[in-house]
């Protein structure tokens, strides 16, 4: 279980840690935003500053070429003098060479240059610096500058890229920052890395196949469109911040100042490191301060807790450590000390009262004022003392009453013994009579049970006869039904005989018509008619016999029904007789049980009477012993002091 000191320390540490983390996080975030804002402003400022610088350098190149192009010697017809002049000027200005192109763009050594931008611009009256390209007279990367020479002619000169790019040498932006120039066509024309210029990349086309160069492509698009701003790009795996703006001049070049984000963040990293260091230092200071503060705050509480634990173990003697001050902890310590002191007084007072009671002194009283919820303790002590006084006074009076009662009890016990002997003799006589009555009742119950069995057997036989009579009735009904069916069959046979007789007559008539040929058939017809007549007579006789049988069956059914009703009445009356016999048997059994219980009761009465006789004798002896004990109790009560004098004195 964590102590209060640990909890307080942890709470302060966690609170300060959370505050430091929040403050450091917010500070770092604001520093980051401020750094990025300042970096963007710086990039814009650098781009604007180097724009002026490069613009002035490019103007110097254009003015220098214009100055040479306006020389009077170039207006003369002396071609040799012109070539000599141009050669001398090229050597002085650091150019590889100077040359003249006529109004059609024709030159002596470089062919027709009329399609070049520098030619078209110079012919229009404005000096122009072309994008770096491979030299017409060698493999070096050169920059061509053209200027109007009068008469529609254009003077132009080539300067090596290395010489031209020296203007970037003075531009230093940290350890990894640099400036570069973008042409109107989206090509890099000046860059600290020469290969970047020698092998220009068209990012507008490359982004179609490589989406990773989209930020660079957007930068080139914004720069060539004349915008001024800041763009974040990913170049050669490094995230960079680029500020850009357009340089004044006919070329419409744009300068871009590129710095890696890591370089921009260096100052921020230092700021973050300082903030983290300060936070750690504050945390350490808080750690020490919280330990000291927690120790100071919790030590008095720990001491008070230990004293309360001792109090819980029954220690009322150890003093409570004192805490100086007026705060809650000091008040807690003072209250605890006062509580222990009061408890000590209460316990001492209770011990004093109980000690006096143990010495048979019941006139003692509590001398301490009990406060608050302890007040009932004093009231309880007072009630206990009063109750003990009243109790012992009552015991004393009871002792004398017991003595008197013991004498009366002895006399009553003797009378009880004599009466118990007489009662025992009477109970024995009554018990003998009950045994005779019980024997007769048991015989009656046995006879009733036998009659009940015979009655049940008779009912069973009558029920069987009734069932057999019902079966006979059913058989007669079946015979009656069968006789009716036979009558129907006889009627059918009679009808068949009548039809046969008619057919025989018809056959005889037909035989008579046939003459001698039908004599044999006539004989057969006579025989058939004779058989039909006999069948009709037989069916009539059978029908009469069956009808007489049906009448006999009906009379038998009437008699059987009457017999069945008589049997039902016999069964019903037998059931009633059986029920009465059952009741008699049950009553006899109940009487037998009651007499048995009465017999048992008489035995118990006899036993109790004998016990009472013995008890009466024992009571007489006990009364004498009780009288002796009451005398001893009176002697013991004389030792107690109660209010108003001792017990013995009061009774005397």
pLDDT value of position 9: 65
Lowest-confidence range among 69-78, 391-400, 478-487, 554-563? 391-400
Residue 434, pLDDT above cutoff 70? no
Per-residue pLDDT band for 56 (boundaries 50, 70, 90) equals very high
Helix segments in 365-518, DSSP class H = 375-514
Tokens of 352: 């004093």
Residue 65, pLDDT above cutoff 90? yes
Tokens of 451: 């009659």
At what angle are helices 4-69 and 79-93 packed, to 10 degrees?
A: 160
Residue 651, pLDDT above cutoff 60? no
Instruction: Name, in order, each residue with C-beta under 8 angstroms of 631's C-beta and a sequence gap of 6 or more.
Output: 403
**pLDDT per residue over 467-509, tens digit each?**
877 787 787 778 778 777 877 787 877 788 788 878 877 877 8
Tokens of 558: 């009437």
pLDDT value of position 652: 52
**pLDDT per residue over 251-281, tens digit each?**
999 999 998 888 777 767 777 788 788 878 8
Residue 129, pLDDT above cutoff 80? yes
Higher-confidence residue: 437 or 193?
193
pLDDT value of position 174: 75
pLDDT value of position 441: 65
Residue 145, pLDDT above cutoff 90? yes
Among residues of the chain, what percentage have pLDDT more than 70? 83
Q: What is the pTM of this model?
A: 0.44
| SS3 per-residue string spanning 599-631 | HHHHHHHHHHHHHHHHHHHHHHHHHHHHHHHHH
Lowest-confidence range among 77-86, 484-493, 550-559, 611-620? 611-620
The residue-averaged pLDDT of 391-409 equals 71
**pLDDT per residue over 403-420, tens digit each?**
677 667 667 666 766 766
**pLDDT per residue over 214-223, tens digit each?**
999 999 999 8
Q: Nearest 5 degrees, angle CA 494-CA 500-CA 504?
A: 145
Lowest-confidence range among 60-74, 195-209, 524-538? 524-538
Residue 26, pLDDT above cutoff 60? yes
């Amino acid at each position: 279980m964590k102590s209060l000191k640990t909890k307080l320390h942890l709470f302060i540490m966690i609170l300060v840690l959370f505050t430091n983390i929040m403050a450091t996080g917010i500070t770092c975030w604001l520093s980051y935003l401020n750094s990025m804002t300042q970096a963007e402003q710086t990039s814009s400022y650098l781009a604007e500053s180097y724009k002026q610088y490069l613009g002035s350098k490019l103007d110097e190149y254009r003015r220098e070429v214009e100055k040479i192009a306006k020389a009077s010697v170039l207006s003369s017809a002396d071609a040799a003098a012109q070539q000599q002049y141009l050669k001398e000027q090229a050597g002085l200005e650091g150019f590889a060479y100077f040359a003249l192109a006529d109004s059609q763009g024709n030159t002596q050594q470089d062919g027709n240059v009329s399609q070049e931008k520098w030619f078209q611009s110079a012919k229009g009256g404005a000096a122009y610096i072309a994008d770096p390209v491979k030299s017409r007279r060698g493999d070096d990367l050169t920059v061509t500058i053209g200027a109007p020479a009068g008469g529609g002619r254009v003077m132009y000169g080539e300067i090596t890229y290395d010489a031209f790019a020296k203007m970037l040498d003075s531009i230093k932006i940290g350890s990894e920052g640099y400036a570069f120039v973008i042409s109107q066509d989206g090509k890099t024309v000046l860059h600290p890395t020469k290969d970047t210029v020698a092998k220009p990349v068209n990012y507008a086309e490359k982004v179609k196949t490589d989406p990773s160069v989209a930020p660079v492509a957007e930068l080139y698009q914004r720069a060539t469109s004349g915008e001024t701003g800041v763009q974040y790009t990913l170049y050669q795996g490094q995230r960079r911040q680029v500020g850009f703006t357009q340089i004044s001049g006919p070329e419409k070049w744009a300068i871009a100042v590129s710095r890696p984000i890591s370089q921009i963040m260096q100052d921020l990293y230092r700021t973050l490191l300082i903030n983290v260091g300060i936070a750690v230092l504050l945390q350490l200071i808080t750690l020490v301060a919280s330990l000291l503060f927690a120790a100071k705050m919790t030590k008095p509480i720990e001491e008070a807790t230990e004293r309360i634990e001792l109090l819980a173990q029954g220690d009322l003697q150890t003093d409570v450590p004192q805490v100086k001050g007026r705060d809650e902890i000091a008040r807690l310590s003072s209250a605890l000390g006062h509580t222990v002191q009061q408890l000590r007084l209460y316990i001492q007072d209770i011990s004093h009262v109980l000690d006096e009671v143990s010495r048979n002194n019941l006139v003692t009283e509590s001398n301490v004022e009990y406060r608050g919820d302890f007040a009932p303790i004093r009231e309880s002590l007072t009630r206990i003392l009063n109750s003990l006084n009243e109790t012992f006074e009552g015991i004393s009076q009871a002792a004398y009453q017991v003595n008197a009662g013991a004498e009366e009890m002895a006399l009553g016990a003797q009378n009880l013994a004599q009466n118990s002997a007489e009662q025992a003799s009477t109970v024995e006589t009554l018990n003998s009579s009950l045994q005779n009555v019980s024997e007769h009742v048991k015989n009656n119950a046995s006879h009733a049970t036998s009659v009940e069995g015979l009655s049940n057997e008779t009912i069973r036989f009558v029920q069987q006869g009734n069932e057999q009579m019902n079966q006979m009735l059913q058989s007669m009904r079946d015979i009656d039904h069968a006789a009716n069916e036979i009558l129907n069959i006889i009627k059918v046979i009679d009808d068949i005989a009548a039809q046969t007789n008619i057919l025989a007559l018809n056959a005889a008539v037909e035989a008579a018509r046939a003459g001698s040929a039908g004599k044999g058939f006539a004989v057969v017809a006579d025989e058939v008619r004779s058989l039909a007549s006999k069948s009709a007579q037989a069916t009539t006789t059978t029908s009469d016999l069956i009808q007489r049988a049906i009448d006999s069956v009906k009379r038998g059914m009437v008699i059987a029904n009457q017999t069945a009703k008589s049997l039902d009445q016999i069964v019903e009356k037998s059931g009633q007789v059986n029920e009465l016999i059952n009741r008699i048997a049950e009553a006899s059994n109940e009487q037998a049980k009651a007499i048995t219980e009465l017999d048992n009761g008489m035995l118990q009465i006899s036993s109790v009477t004998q016990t009472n006789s013995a008890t009466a004798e024992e009571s007489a002896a006990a009364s004498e012993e009780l009288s002796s004990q009451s005398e001893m109790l009176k002697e013991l009560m004389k030792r107690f002091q109660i209010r108003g004098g001792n017990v013995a004195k009061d009774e005397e």
